[in-house]
Amino acid sequence: MEAKEKLTTQEKALRINLRREVYGSFAEIGAGQEVAANFFKVGGASGTVAKTMSAYDMKFSDAIYGVCDRYVCEDRLTGMLDHEYPLLPERLPHLIEKTRFFAFADTVEALNFERTNQGQGWVGLRFQKRPNTEPNDCVIHVKMFDNDPLLQQYALGVVGVNMIYACMMLEDPEEIMMSLVDGLARRIEIDMFRLSGPDYEKVDNRLMAMKLVKNGLTRAAMFGPDGEVMQPSEALYKKNVLVLRGRFRPVTHVNVDMLLAARRYFKKEPDVDKKKMVVLTELTLNDLSSDGAIDEKDFLYRADTICSLGQTVLISNYFEYYRVAEYLSKITRGKKIGIILGIYALQKVFEERTYQNLRGGILESFAALFGTNIKLYIYPALKRGSDTELFTLKDFEDELPDNLKGLFRYMQDNNKLEDIENANTENLHIISDNVLAMIRKGEHGWEKYVPHKVEEAIKEHGLFDYPYTLESSKVASVNN
């Protein structure tokens, strides 16, 4: 199979300009002023550009798009698209039958003069794949890493051209997503991507969120219990975050009890605002693949069961706990973070060989993992070889090598570790791999190991290769 031709930004803009059926408007506010300019520079823009505008002043922006509290946010972007797109068929009715209209918008914050902020913004396109049809939306959030505001503006201009070309000329959703960063290696991060509309009804944006992480466009992405993708910085900004990492294959009573029990502890922390608390379930790329390849269907099975419990999902490629702690700390801006670990996972955290590639070794990792705003809640387990005896923090020090016992005591003395003492120990024998095997074989009895809503989701949608539909299960139970 031949590799597809890689076009430059100028070539993409020119090809769009030469397509007479593609016609639209550009609205750019804040630092985003470069997208329309790319189409003018290559020539033939009269065939593409119906209008360009820049409501740079806030009062002008409010007068056109409505008053808002924040100017660089998704709501403002949506307001821009809602205003600009209907003007095209309204003012150009003679073009409706032969033209694919689009409205491009962005609202962006570049580096300030003191360089104390993060360059970031929202970019969106409302577009038709065929004339006289309902439009689709492509919306992304970008972070810009150039250390000069002019370079950031240039990079955003490239993103805009990439988006218009991809949405108007390409078909495959993943190809559209990947082409957004053409010519921008390591200069742009896309941590939210949404493709919606009549031509993309079969696109599952939860899967696209995972692909953002898998393909290296970002280190972490999020979606809510309703399946809608979320922008992490906006969803978690100045929030108290409690996170549980797991494989969730499937979600069992143990997973749920870990969340609920730790949540009770977290809510009692004096520096936690219960009204600004977010609970996350985290899936890492490492936990999504056993042989280096990610099974997309299996990922969606896990997403369905987690969402059935009303949980928000964070997908990351932060393999080490200290990296996800560092990531969340930057977003929450000093707010309390709780991380839930099983006792055996804590043992791995204390393994020095894990940090051989860090200059500061285990101490460097612990500086991030046990920062001033972070606390670990440790869930007990059965001791290996025992059906009744618990392994908790009280026994943990005895399992450590002598050179790490002082470090462990320091963490305890400074309230960085807490035993979850109200855990439901009757469920500790549940092993998710065993439950998964029972589901796939159609064995009876697995239902008692998972929450009722998870059971319903698995049976109704045939998740994890469940061999029976919900209806056939009902028939079987009646016959019995």
What stretch of H or E contains 49?
A: strand 49-53
d(CA 135, CA 78): 14
What's the pLDDT at 8? 96
Flag whether 88 is in a domain. yes
3-state DSSP call for residue 322?
helix
Structure-token pair, residue 242:
């409690």
- The per-residue pLDDT for 55 is 82
Instruction: Give residue 443's Cα distance to chain centre.
Output: 35
Same domain, yes or no: 24 and 112? yes
- Is 432 contained in some domain? no
**What is the chain's pLDDT, residue by residue, as a tens digit (480 residues)?**
345 678 999 999 999 999 999 999 999 987 768 899 999 999 999 999 999 998 888 888 889 888 887 888 999 999 999 999 999 999 999 999 999 999 999 999 988 888 888 899 999 999 999 999 999 999 999 999 999 989 999 999 999 999 999 999 999 999 999 999 999 988 999 999 999 999 999 999 999 999 999 999 999 999 999 999 999 999 999 999 999 999 999 999 999 999 999 999 999 999 999 999 999 999 999 889 766 689 999 999 999 999 999 999 999 999 999 999 999 999 998 899 999 999 999 999 999 999 999 999 999 999 999 988 999 999 999 999 888 999 999 999 999 999 999 999 999 999 999 999 999 999 999 999 999 999 999 899 999 999 999 999 999 999 999 985 444 444 444 444
Per the CB < 8 A criterion, the answer to whether 314 and 281 are in contact is yes
Judge if 157 and 279 occupy the same domain: no
Considering Cα of 367, then 369, then 372, then 378, what sign does the dihedral take? negative
Domain of residue 272 covers 234-427
Please check whether residue 97 lies inside any domain of the structure.
yes
Q: Report the CATH number at residue 130.
A: 3.90.950.20
Measured CA to CA, the distance from residue 311 to residue 300 in angstroms comes to 14
Kindly state whether residue 238 falls inside one of the protein's structural domains: yes
Contacts of 64 (CB under 8 A, 6+ apart): 55, 83
What local confidence, expressed as pLDDT, does residue 68 receive?
82
The answer to whether residues 53 and 123 belong to one domain is yes
**131 and 90 share a domain?**
yes
| Burial classification of residue 44, based on how many CB atoms lie within 10 Å of its CB (0-12 exposed, 13-18 middle, 19 or more buried) | middle
Do residues 281 and 406 both lie within one domain? yes
- Rounded-to-integer distance, Cα 308 and Cα 453, Å: 6
The pLDDT of residue 477 is 44
> Is 441 inside a domain boundary?
no
pLDDT at 4: 65
- Contact, 214 vs 222, CB < 8 A? no
**440 lies in a domain?**
no
The pTM of this model reads: 0.92
Q: Is residue 477 part of a domain?
A: no
Same domain, 417 and 358: yes
Confidence at residue 69, expressed as pLDDT on a 0 to 100 scale: 79
